[in-house]
Chain A
Amino acid sequence: MEKNEEIILKGIPLSTGIAIGKLFLFNPQEVKVVPKIIESIEEEIQNFYETLKSTETELILIRENVSQKINEEKAKIFDVQILILQDPTLHEKVKDKILTQKLNWDFAFFEVMNEIHKSFLEVEEKNLRERAIDIHDVKIRVLRQNPNFIRKNLEIPEQAIVLAETLTPTDLIHLVEKNVAGFVTASGGINSHLAIIARTLGIPSILGSGKIFSQVYDDFLFSTVILDGRNGIFILDPTQTTVDYYREEKEKFEATKIQTIKKHFLQATTKGGISIDLRLNLSFENEFGFVEELNTQGVGLFRSEHLLFQRLEYPNEDLQFSVYRKLAENCFPFSARIRTFDVGGEKMIGNLQVPAQNNPCLGWRGIRISLEMQELFRTQLRAILKASYFGKLEIMLPMLTNLDEFLQAKEIIENVKNELEAEGYKIDRNIKTGVMIEVPSAAITADLLAKYCDFFSIGTNDLTQYVLAVDRNNNLVSNLYNPLHPSVLRLLKFVLEAGKKAKIPVNICGEIAGTLHIVPLLLGMGFDGLSVMPTSIPTVREVINQTNKKQLEKLAKKVFTLGSQTEIKKLLLEFSHKNLLVVS
């Protein structure tokens, strides 16, 4: 008999593909504790105190650990949690509830903590709202001590479809390691960190609406669900017919993907007279093989901060060195550009907590952190320079806003070079050092910076959001995020011309470099290189193979006469429909 009660929900597609798997709820917002009839009030109260004590012991251990491995300052964060456990008013409230309502201690505690949590969230004072997270944490820690705790030892099944309201980069890495089949998340837009990683790794993902999250609860845990990243469909309790249908669709999808990819992975021809460096944006060690496999000219962006997200401890010099060396060897004879740690902003740092900031994208991030936390920066530079001997590495500085920062960084680099040579290491003394142009101030002064830098790489994702004052992860305004706004295009042109004048290469490493209808414009403008995620290589090859230089230059010229971003997009779409096969 067929059940006929499948629930079909709709979200926004983030990463294409089909996944069929077991549902897993990550980071559940709430734990379930049920009220029970109790036998003895004294016993209940005693249990409560004993559990508080064992939680405290656990917390003191964590605190010591953090103090040793990170620093005392970070360890102090846990003092507040320890004090919450000892709080006499909290004890009174819980005891009172156990006594008057004859409730089991865990339910009484659960309710009291929820009330406090709520009262902290309601206030206007920001510092106070931030403490709500401590209250939540303590609640979970205490309840976890209870043997009846539901979430204890919950294992993620293989090929799970993970539903999570938010995922930090660290969570994401852990999940990727577990071979997750698909993601449904409630926050972050099409250009969020999660979406980019999911697309890079080919993990189907959708942005769920509130409706999806309100319909999915614990009962569906581990049940079979279907996620269609092509159109944002999410199906709970699918019938056998639906499962069979999607199995077939999945096979078809993957077969065509492989075919298209094979076709376009061949060396790009130069019959159209377009010569360009095609490079990769990579984040993980297991992607290094793509450089040769996809026939590219090296790595245009290695996001080194992923080394921080993947582990709890700061990656030491030896560990970093081994990764950078592997990168250099995999790319040779081409080069690999390592972007120094770019944390802060939407990208959180795993082990080193960057303090909460009102406006993180305008806050402490990228080169700003590196120049202040010089130990961290020097360790990274030592590892890069030591690895530079094994291939061709380049250093790229993120979030640079002025020449002084560049000169300061350069001085540190020279310093580290001398230090390493004095220690007897062989290094590439002429290692190229360049700048990621992603802040308007750097773009506007590109001509001044060009005299000192060895290359520019334009990070159009950030540049666009800074120029347009649009947070690409804020669903209320993300529709205003548009890299084709004439202001952005003018800046790109200015930076390119500044680079050409100083005879340094100018690359683009934002997502537009892999967007089918925008690639012809970038090639027509005459950029020296594009750096894209592995799955976008076919897109760019398609443009190079199907068009010619003259045609593209004409197109670019036309774009710069237009004042409306809508018209620009229309023109580019028309061009790609006429001249290009649609790959993705």
Chain B
Amino acid sequence: MKEICLKIKNQAGIHARPSALLVNLAAKFDCEVVLSNGHFDVNGKSILGVISLAIPYRGLLYVKANGKDEEKAIESISKLVTVDNFFE
């Protein structure tokens, strides 16, 4: 299992559009993706779950991946959040 903690730089936080990007990305991997805001965990492939995390600007997103391509999943999600900043 791989784990990482990311800081949200997006001004609006993880609202609907970034959530959609996260879910679409997570769905591409053949492993379990669990996201958390530090209070509760959700399935990273569930839009309703990811939106309900409601992570604000400068909040923390915990990512856990478990399965075949877990390494690749963690790497891609980190890139989306920290490098691409959800393309916003």
Which residues of A pack against B, CB within 8 Å?
76-77, 79-80, 83-84, 86-90, 116, 119-120, 123, 125, 127-128, 131, 134-135
Contact = CB atoms under 8 A, between A and B. Distances in A.
Contacts of B12: 127
A34 B7 CA distance: 46
B9 interface: no
Given A80-B47, A134-B16, 19 more contacts: A76-B20, A80-B16, A80-B17, A83-B23, A84-B47, A86-B47, A87-B49, A88-B43, A88-B45, A89-B48, A89-B49, A90-B48, A120-B52, A127-B12, A127-B15, A127-B16, A127-B54, A128-B52, A135-B48
A116 B46 CA distance: 13
B36 interface: no
A135 B48 CA distance: 9
A77 B13 CA distance: 16
Contacts of A83: 20, 23-24, 47
Interface string B1-17: 00000000000110111
A76 B52 CA distance: 19
A159 to B, nearest CB: 41
Interface in B37-51: 42-43, 45-49, 51
30 contacts: A76-B17, A76-B20, A77-B16, A79-B17, A79-B20, A80-B47, A80-B51, A83-B23, A83-B24, A83-B47, A84-B47, A84-B48, A86-B27, A86-B47, A87-B47, A87-B48, A88-B43, A89-B42, A89-B46, A116-B48, A119-B52, A120-B52, A123-B54, A125-B56, A127-B12, A127-B54, A128-B51, A128-B54, A131-B16, A131-B51
Contacts of A123: 52, 54
A120 B15 CA distance: 13
Q: Main secondary structure on chain A at its contact with chain B?
A: helix
B43 A80 contact: no
Nearest to A116: B48
A128 B16 CA distance: 8
A131 B12 CA distance: 14
A86 B47 CA distance: 8
A116 B19 CA distance: 17
A95 to B, nearest CB: 14
A446 B12 CA distance: 38
Nearest to A78: B20
For the complex of A and B, the 8 pairs showing the least CB-CB separation, nearest first, are A83-B47, A89-B46, A125-B54, A79-B20, A127-B15, A80-B16, A87-B46, A128-B54
A76 B46 CA distance: 17
Interface of B: 12-13, 15-17, 19-20, 23-24, 27, 42-43, 45-49, 51-52, 54, 56
Contacts of A131: 16, 51
B26 to A, nearest CB: 11
Contacts, number: 53
> For B12, B46, B49, B56, which residue has the most chain A Cβ atoms within 10 angstroms?
B46
A76 B87 CA distance: 13
A355 to B, nearest CB: 11
A127 B48 contact: no
A88 B32 CA distance: 12
Contacts of B51: 80, 128, 131
B12 to A, nearest CB: 7
A480 B34 CA distance: 52
Nearest to A93: B48
B15 A88 contact: no
Contacts of A79: 17, 20, 24
B55 to A, nearest CB: 10
A427 B25 CA distance: 55
Contacts of A89: 42-43, 46, 48-49
B46 A90 contact: yes
Nearest to A76: B17
Contact of A88 (B16, B46, B56): B46
Contacts of B17: 76, 79-80
Contacts of A76: 17, 20
B52 A80 contact: no
A239 to B, nearest CB: 50
A134 to B, nearest CB: 7
B21 to A, nearest CB: 9
A90 B12 CA distance: 26
A77 B20 CA distance: 10
Contacts of B16: 77, 80, 127, 131, 134
Contacts of A88: 43, 45-46
A31 B17 CA distance: 28
> For B13, B42, B52, which residue has the most chain A Cβ atoms within 10 angstroms?
B52
A89 B51 CA distance: 13
A128 B37 CA distance: 14
A392 B47 CA distance: 55
A116 B42 CA distance: 14
Nearest to A83: B47
A83 B51 CA distance: 11
A486 B15 CA distance: 45
Contacts of A119: 52
Nearest to B56: A125
Nearest to A73: B17
B68 to A, nearest CB: 17
Contacts of A86: 27, 47
A87 B43 CA distance: 10
A84 B49 CA distance: 10
A515 B15 CA distance: 47
A567 B67 CA distance: 78
> For B15, B23, B48, which residue has the most chain A Cβ atoms within 10 angstroms?
B48
B8 to A, nearest CB: 13
Nearest to B14: A127
Contacts of A128: 51-52, 54
B46 A80 contact: no
B57 to A, nearest CB: 11
